[in-house]
Amino acid sequence: MDFTRTEPARGSQTCGYQMQVGSWQNDGHRFCADRKARGKYFCNERHQEVLDTYGEIRMAPGNAIGK
């Protein structure tokens, strides 16, 4: 799993799931930098994590689906 500290564009093919919001070490935010899974808003791992946690996925307009 790769990560980036800058949020990817919503229309990109990068997952972008926010995995960390700051921390006590103050090393900042972390976003998943894996490629979106085909037909999903996130990579396979994050997609399943969201479903397990929230039961559904609702995204704002402008978010790309994996190709």
- In the chain, domain spans: 3-54
Q: Are 42 and 36 in contact (CB under 8 A)?
A: yes
Q: Of 46, 33, 37, which is closest to residue 66 (Cα–Cα)?
A: 37
pLDDT in tens, the chain (67 residues): 788 888 899 999 999 999 887 666 667 788 999 999 999 999 999 999 999 999 999 898 999 999 9
Contact assessment for residue 8 and residue 18, using Cβ atoms and an 8 Å cutoff = no
**What one-character DSSP code corresponds to residue 22?**
-
Cα-based torsion angle of the residue sequence 26, 41, 33, 1 in order, rounded to the nearest 10 degrees:
100
- Whole-prediction pTM value? 0.82
